[in-house]
């Protein structure tokens, strides 16, 4: 059976968010250590490229895919 995921839009108010912060903000992980392990297992792609560094900066317009969870599109929060 093929995995079907819907892209979710996530607004951010800052210039960027690190992938580790993003994973915690979205309640995908509860700590930086768990984020690091998830990244090391190559479970995350940013703009269709595997990401393994938890300090990677993500900007509005970036697309983040978390295997088995969802796809997220970052946008600038204009409010």
CATH, residue 25: 3.10.290.10
**Domain assignment present for 47:** yes
Domain assignment present for 26: yes
Please tell me the distance from the alpha carbon of residue 54 to that of residue 20, in angstroms, as a whole number. Answer: 5
Tens of pLDDT along 17-71? 999 999 999 999 999 999 999 999 999 999 999 999 999 999 999 999 999 899 9
Residue 66 lies inside a defined structural domain of this protein: yes
Which residue range forms the structural domain that includes residue 27?
7-76
23 touches 31 (CB < 8 A) = no
- Is 2 inside a domain boundary? no
**Which residues make beta-bridge pairs with 58?**
17
In a domain, 1, yes or no: no
Residue 56 lies in a domain: yes
51, part of any domain: yes
Number of structural domains in the chain: 1
Neighbours of 38 (CB within 10 A): 21
Residues 6+ apart with CB under 8 A from 71: 5, 6, 7, 8, 63, 64, 65
Note the pTM of the prediction, 2 decimals: 0.87
């Amino acid at each position: 059976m093929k995995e079907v995921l819907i892209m979710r839009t996530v607004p951010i108010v800052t210039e960027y968010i690190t992938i580790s912060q993003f994973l915690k903000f979205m309640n995908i992980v509860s700590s930086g250590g768990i984020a690091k392990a998830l990244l090391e297992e190559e479970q995350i792609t940013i703009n269709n490229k595997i990401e393994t560094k938890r300090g990677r900066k993500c900007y509005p317009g970036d697309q983040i895919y978390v295997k088995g969870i969802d796809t997220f599109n970052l946008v600038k929060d204009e409010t």
